[in-house]
Amino acid sequence: MIHPLPTPVQYLGEDGSVRPGVTLPGTPDDWYALWHTMLLVREYDRKLVTLLRQGRTTFYAQAAGMEATQVGIGRALRPGHDWVWGYYRDQGIALTMGARLQDLAAQMLGSNSDPNRGRQMPHHYGSAQINFVSASSSIANQVPPATGTALAQKMLGTDEVTVCTFGDGATSEGDWHAGLNMAGVQQVPCVFVCENNQWAISTPLSRQTASDGIVAKAAGYGMPGVQVDGNDVLAVWAVVQEAVDRARRGGGPTLVEALTYRMGAHSNADADAEKTYRSREEVQHWQARDPLVRFERFLERQGHSISAAQRSEAVASLHRQIDEAIQEAENSGQPDWRSMFEDVYADMPVHLRRQYQQLRLEQEAGQS
């Protein structure tokens, strides 16, 4: 079954043309930066699938096809100032906000250079530098704390904004409803963005909700709702930017539904997605609506076309950067076993001291 786009906010046609009456955000330099970051997300995705198949990491969730949504969201935020409570597929938001490839690779490998010290499962990146909270594997449990973060921002009188992202599957969870309900009651500065990629693992959107899209639920929680073409990076940027600005001015929360599609599997847990629950016809339908290709057509129409040689050179450069980041992460080795006892308690409790001594004796015995 092919799920067609309804009539969301759209700035660019599928041929790259600009919709009548639209005022485009950004400058040609901004547009090139958007394209380059989308290309980085796409190539990073390809490299990580390879890394997974080589057995060098154990979990990865692809973002191919969702680059426009994620890069558009990230572009609307102030890195290191605003906060993101995302989900595990949000590498595109992190990269747009300035995440280092070295840190992403180190987290994927749980290596010694991982800022999270190898304490999360792969592909659950987090960064204190850019206020990007480490994702959880549990679905929708980031929504209540995102509302709490935004409530704290309101009470403290900061002009920070929280963005909370999730897939369409999260909207069936109790945490999602609790978080949005409180956000509406408290009118917190939070923008909730549903990255609606049409499938909650193997469950189609039609089995997730009987409402007319996720955005229809916004009214029930007392907040505006906007549905946007998630394969149109300029429309996503503009819609999220408007919601962020409104929240920053004290206007309360917004629910944004970005309609997009994941071209690959949900994760390596269902790598055979095209044969098990999606038809090849459906995947091909959305591949023909590739957000990266659409944006390249737009650039060409604006007189900033990217030649095949320029694209190949950019891809080769990105591959080198990604390979170097992975190599650097692998060269840093594994975290020292002692590090698992650090950072939690100022004074280590007695039972942990016993465990520490036991492990120390085992390590010394193994080395002797």
Three-class DSSP labels, 213-229: CHHHHHHHHCCCEEEEE
Q: Of residues 89, 123, 262, 278, which has the active-site annotation?
A: 262
User: How far apart, in whole angstroms, are the C-alpha atoms of residue 205 and residue 200?
Assistant: 7
Whole-number Å distance between alpha carbons of 220 and 216:
8
Concerning whether 277 is annotated as a catalytic residue, the answer is yes
Residue 111 in contact with residue 50, Cβ under 8 Å? no
The alpha-carbon radius of gyration of the chain (Å, integer) is 21
C-alpha span between 126 and 363 (Å, rounded): 30
Q: In degrees rounded to 5, what are phi and psi of residue 155?
A: -65, -35
Say how many C-beta atoms besides its own lie within 10 A of residue 194's C-beta.
28
**Which residues contact residue 268 at a Cβ distance below 8 angstroms, ignoring those fewer than 6 apart?**
52, 58, 59, 60
Q: Which of the residues 3, 32, 36, 277 is marked catalytic?
A: 277
Helices 67-75, 233-248: inter-axial angle, 10-degree rounding:
30
Name the 3-class secondary structure at 141: coil
Q: Classify residue 354 by burial, with Cβ atoms within 10 Å: 0-12, 13-18, 19+.
A: exposed
44 is catalytic: no
354: annotated active-site residue: no
Of 42, 75, 117, 266, which residue is the catalytic one? 266
- C-alpha–C-alpha distance, residues 197 and 266, integer Å: 10
First and final CA of the chain: distance in angstroms? 63
Catalytic residue annotation: 262, 266, 277
